[in-house]
Amino acid sequence: MSNRLQFYNFTLMPYPFIPPGEDLESSWITIPNSLFDAKVAHRLYTEYLEQLVASEKFGYDGIIVNEHHQNAFGTIAAPNVWGGYLAARTSHIRIGIIGNALPLHQNPLRVAEEIAMLDIISGGRIISGHVRGMGAEYHSSGMDPTRSKGRFWEAHDLILRAWAEDGPFTWQGEHYDIEYANIWPKPVQRPHPPIWMPGTGSTETIEEVAKRRFSYMQTTTSNWITKRSFALFRQICEEKYEYSPAPTQLGRVIPTYVAETDAQAYREFMPHAMWFFRTGLKIPMHHLMPPGYNTSAAMLRTIQGRAAAGVKNFWEMSYDDLIESGHIIVGSPQTVIDKYGQQADEYGLGMAVSAGGHLGAMPNWMVMKNLQLMAEEVMPAFREPDGKPDHLREERAVPYTNAEQAATIPAPKHQPVVRLADGRDLPTALGHIPEVVAGGSTEPPTPAA
């Protein structure tokens, strides 16, 4: 039994208290952080996190955070920190870190360790997204965009090996040279947590994700590009790698707002959608694409493709453009059901990301309304008769209770002991029992002659 469509609440955590996009060169890199007030952000972050936590009770399949730096569009600079918070505040829902920007980190093993820690503490609920980081972030971090792609794939391969294989092993790559790759801890999901990779539709990304049998998440784009990307993904899976992709290998970021009626939804969503596209995504090409981040051939293909398809910059689109092109979905529950249903049938969509939740500068109440209507009026149309998210029908990687753990998890091979002077190994669990420790001295044992 599995559901027809999974629902994810993906929050960027913007800081929307900035001038309109028209007055900004960019909402990235150079926008002065004197505009950021941490006291205001305290309330914002609290609300954003509560919205994610509430998503579990509403019945979402997963909640998602990501990594961006030095911008107003998305202020989660350290998504694994939020992952720890969310793991502590929820118990069953999947938590996606989509993703860690691997090339921006000096040591990929740090990412492997943090995700492993989150996976353990969450009981195996982590989805690990791996991304290069937006081009703009290479300006912000000083990292070299010309080495970004190489570092990304090498870091990814190193992390997966560190998760899946027993160490220590030696890693001698082009970008990372690590004599002892031997992470403590390792993730509880074996061999590793599910991997998602976002993409804008480039053939190269789709090919790599299909090859590795990971999940591909189309970032905010039009229906036309999404449909083409998904078709290409399935084609590569089937023709080149000879398997049929699972529906959960195809996700799409499709900011969705549902309200009582089409007209109500249209009115309520407009300012927030427009803030997102017009101000949050105000990122001119010279910020978005640092030299060397892509090859000139890839850039030529992209720009020619965009010109041929008449693709506009995000901030040049009207609200109706965005709805018509399918960048966003807005409407009554029935409208949303129809559009999701069509994308599931026609495109092969298996995971709706940003399906309800926060966008732009939405007030908390509006986000909660969006989440609740999505859960109660839309989700059931794509669920098995029990209405459950898939994860509630699956075994957790680690049982939730101590009693279940004691009943099902074998004792570790080694019990902690203290070697006594007389050579006996005193089990630490019993070391306080006089009968067990009797006669024992804690002087170092005499080495064998």
Partner 1 sequence: MTSSAQTMAVDGVTVAYRRGGSGGPVVVLNGHWGSRRWLPLHAALAERSEVIAPELPGFGSSELPDWVKGIDDVLLLVRDALDALGLERVHLVGYGLGGWIASDLAIWFPERVRSLSLLAPYGLRVPGHPLANIFLMNPAGFAEAYGLLDADAALVDGLVPGVGTPADGGMEEWAHRYGEMGAAARLMWQWRYDLALDHRLPRLAERGLPSLVVGGADDRILPAAQVERWAQLLGARTVEIPGGHAFPFTAPRQTAEAVTSFIESVEKVAA
Which of these ranges, 226-234, 293-301, 373-381, 420-428, lies near partner 1 under the rule CB under 8 A? 293-301
* Rounded Cα distance, 46 and 255, in Å: 21
Please state the closest distance from residue 309 (CB atom) to partner 1, in A: 14
Q: Parallel, antiparallel, or unpaired for β 215-218 and 250-258?
A: parallel
Tell me if 52 sits within 8 A of 65, measured CB to CB.
yes
* Rounded Cα distance, 167 and 180, in Å: 8
Which of these ranges, 99-107, 122-130, 134-142, 180-188, lies near partner 1 under the rule CB under 8 A? 134-142
User: Restricting to residues 1-30, which ones interact with partner 1 according to CB under 8 A?
Assistant: 25, 29-30
Please state the closest distance from residue 107 (CB atom) to partner 1, in A: 17
Which of these ranges, 207-215, 218-226, 248-256, 297-305, lies near partner 1 under the rule CB under 8 A? 297-305
Please state the closest distance from residue 296 (CB atom) to partner 1, in A: 3
* Rounded Cα distance, 79 and 99, in Å: 8
Q: Which is nearer to partner 1, 142 or 434 (CB)?
A: 142
Please state the closest distance from residue 2 (CB atom) to partner 1, in A: 44
Q: What angle do CA 271, 273, 275 make, to 5 degrees?
A: 65
Q: What are phi and psi of 413, to 5 degrees?
A: -60, -35
Tell me if 176 sits within 8 A of 107, measured CB to CB.
yes
Tell me if 67 sits within 8 A of 132, measured CB to CB.
no
Find the radius of gyration of the CA atoms of the chain: 24
Q: Which of 33, 46, 107, 295 binds partner 1 (CB under 8 A)?
A: 295
Please state the closest distance from residue 106 (CB atom) to partner 1, in A: 12
Nearest Cα residue to 158 out of 145, 134, 143, 174: 174
Where do we find the tokens 């966003």?
328
User: Restricting to residues 140-199, which ones interact with partner 1 according to CB under 8 A?
Assistant: 142-146
Q: How far, in whole angstroms, is CA 243 from its chain's centroid? A: 25
DSSP secondary structure code for residue 311 in this structure: P
- Residue 278 makes CB contacts below 8 A (sequence gap 6+) with 20, 21, 22, 314, 315
Please state the closest distance from residue 108 (CB atom) to partner 1, in A: 18
Q: Which of 84, 167, 194, 284 binds partner 1 (CB under 8 A)?
A: 284
Please state the closest distance from residue 302 (CB atom) to partner 1, in A: 9
User: Restricting to residues 385-424, which ones interact with partner 1 according to CB under 8 A?
Assistant: none
Where do we find the tokens 């509560």?
50
Which of these ranges, 163-171, 271-279, 295-303, 430-438, lies near partner 1 under the rule CB under 8 A? 295-303
* Rounded Cα distance, 10 and 336, in Å: 17
* Rounded Cα distance, 243 and 223, in Å: 25
Q: Which is nearer to partner 1, 267 or 306 (CB)?
A: 306
Which of these ranges, 97-105, 138-146, 226-234, 404-412, lies near partner 1 under the rule CB under 8 A? 138-146
Q: Parallel, antiparallel, or unpaired for β 195-199 and 6-10?
A: unpaired
Please state the closest distance from residue 67 (CB atom) to partner 1, in A: 20
Please state the closest distance from residue 305 (CB atom) to partner 1, in A: 11
Q: Which of 158, 289, 330, 373 binds partner 1 (CB under 8 A)?
A: 289
Q: Which is nearer to partner 1, 25 or 50 (CB)?
A: 25
Q: Which is nearer to partner 1, 92 or 286 (CB)?
A: 286
Counting contacts by CB under 8 A, is residue 286 touching partner 1? yes
Q: What are phi and psi of 406, to 5 degrees?
A: -65, -35
Q: Which is nearer to partner 1, 164 or 300 (CB)?
A: 300
Q: Which is nearer to partner 1, 300 or 429 (CB)?
A: 300
How long, in residues, is the chain?
449
Q: Which is nearer to partner 1, 70 or 182 (CB)?
A: 70
Q: Which is nearer to partner 1, 26 or 332 (CB)?
A: 26
Please state the closest distance from residue 287 (CB atom) to partner 1, in A: 7
Which of these ranges, 3-11, 152-160, 298-306, 339-347, lies near partner 1 under the rule CB under 8 A? 298-306
DSSP secondary structure code for residue 241 in this structure: S
Q: Which is nearer to partner 1, 228 or 301 (CB)?
A: 301
Distances (CA, A) of 396 to 58, 123, 124, 262: 19, 7, 7, 39
DSSP secondary structure code for residue 244 in this structure: P
* Rounded Cα distance, 428 and 415, in Å: 8
Helix H or strand E segment including 81: helix 79-89
User: Restricting to residues 302-331, which ones interact with partner 1 according to CB under 8 A?
Assistant: 303-304, 307
Where do we find the tokens 């029990």?
386
**Residue 233 three-state SS:** helix
Counting contacts by CB under 8 A, is residue 288 touching partner 1? no
User: Restricting to residues 28-57, which ones interact with partner 1 according to CB under 8 A?
Assistant: 29-30
Counting contacts by CB under 8 A, is residue 299 touching partner 1? yes
Name the residues that contact partner 1, by CB under 8 A.
25, 29-30, 138-139, 142-146, 284-287, 289-297, 299-300, 303-304, 307
